[in-house]
Amino acid sequence: MAFTKTFKSFLINLGIMAGPSLKISDFAGFRKVLDSATKIAVLTGAGVSAESGIGTFRGPAGMWRTHNAMDLATLKAFEANPSLVWEFYEWRRSMAFNARPNKAHLALVEFENKCIKENRVFTLMTQNVDGLHIRAGSKNVFEIHGSLRKVKCTKCKLVYENTDVPICEALRGRGDPEKATTSDIPISDLPKCKNCSGLLRPDIVWFGEILDDNVLSKCVKALEACELFLVVGTSAIVYPAAGFAPFVQDRGVPVAEFNTDPISAVNFVFRGPCGTTLPEALGIDKE
């Protein structure tokens, strides 16, 4: 039984049929919509950094020692054992700071620069905490889950940038995921606030915590105004980001998903590594 290409795309876009190859992705159709949109919003997740060597939280890469990474990214885990959670973050910080932006990050930068020249509005929202979008050169970017590049004092609440590795002497060489050692660094040796010497924590919005009001309202503004929405490398399970695409679709605005394993029923689906699909879709074809 032979489906025509468009009927196949229709089924894939409905989420009824899986697209077996990139060829099915409608790059030409997408480019028409992209070229006529004056306000473009993009949401990225862990998948955009996968090709930079930073693991996502789903699957085997989501384990650190014997712990599910998502169980460590909570206030409860930090309060129960700040030493263990700081080891986990020491490891994540060194991974993120040593990683380099990939073609997907760079395509978003080039596309934003093009938008600026053409007086179009480009907004990037990321769930990633690795700082790679900012290091790549993205300008209008909101890190809705915070950043590994910042710390927050548990006492005076001061937030500031700190990219030291190790972040303190006691954490030197710690955090190796292969070493299942117990973690018992005393609080007095863990990272301390430069203002009040209180215990620092990573400036990350942990699971169960609320997002920064200011950041969220800027995202909502972008979602309310955009004429095209791109969802890149996110499983879109974690709220509120999971609600972004449905919110935009409700206004009849087209949504495009870029994922190795797309799940949503949206207008455009580009299956494959976003380091390949995104530059092509955005017309950034340079090597």
Ligand X SMILES: *[C@@H]1O[C@H](CO)[C@@H](O)[C@H](O)[C@H]1NC(C)=O
Ligand Y SMILES: NC(=O)c1ccc[n+]([C@@H]2O[C@H](COP(=O)([O-])OP(=O)(O)OC[C@H]3O[C@@H](n4cnc5c(N)ncnc54)[C@H](O)[C@@H]3O)[C@@H](O)[C@H]2O)c1
Asked whether position 156 contacts Zn ion by CB under 5 A, the answer is yes
CB 107, min distance to ligand Y, A: 12
Residue 98 or residue 195: which is nearer to ligand X going by CB?
Answer: 195
Calculate the CA dihedral of residues 67, 68, 71, 72 and round it to 10 degrees.
60
Q: Residue 220: what are its φ and ψ, rounded to 5°?
A: -60, -40
Asked whether position 54 contacts ligand Y by CB under 6 A, the answer is yes
- Beta-strand relationship, 121-126 and 146-153: unpaired
Residue 156: CB atoms within 10 Å: 11
Of 187, 195, 221, 261, which lies in the binding site for ligand X, with binding defined by CB under 6 A?
195
CB 151, min distance to ligand X, A: 12
Supply the angle between the helices 103-117 and 274-282 in degrees, to the nearest 10: 20
Residue 156 or residue 237: which is nearer to ligand X going by CB?
Answer: 156
- What's the token pair of residue 37? 């949109």
Residue 162 or residue 249: which is nearer to ligand X going by CB?
Answer: 162
CA angle, 245 then 128 then 259, to 5°: 50
Residues contributing to the annotated binding site: 45-64, 89, 92, 127-130, 153, 156, 193, 196, 233-235, 259-261, 274
CB 204, min distance to ligand Y, A: 8
The stretch among 22-30, 35-43, 128-136, 193-201 that binds ligand Y (CB under 6 A) is 128-136
Residue 94: CB atoms within 10 Å: 16
The stretch among 3-11, 133-141, 167-175, 230-238 that binds ligand Y (CB under 6 A) is 230-238
Asked whether position 234 contacts ligand Y by CB under 6 A, the answer is yes
Residue 200 or residue 274: which is nearer to ligand Y going by CB?
Answer: 274
Supply the angle between the helices 27-36 and 274-282 in degrees, to the nearest 10: 50
Asked whether position 138 contacts ligand Y by CB under 6 A, the answer is no
Residues contributing to the annotated binding site for substrate: 89, 92
Asked whether position 196 contacts Zn ion by CB under 5 A, the answer is yes
Asked whether position 156 contacts ligand X by CB under 6 A, the answer is yes
Instruction: Tell me how far CA of residue 87 lies from CA of 8, 68, 157, 192, 199, in angstroms.
Output: 48, 14, 21, 15, 14
Does the annotation count 105 as an active-site position? no
What three-state secondary structure class fits 230?
strand
Instruction: Please report, as ranges, the residues that interact with ligand X according to CB under 6 A.
Output: 156, 158, 195-196
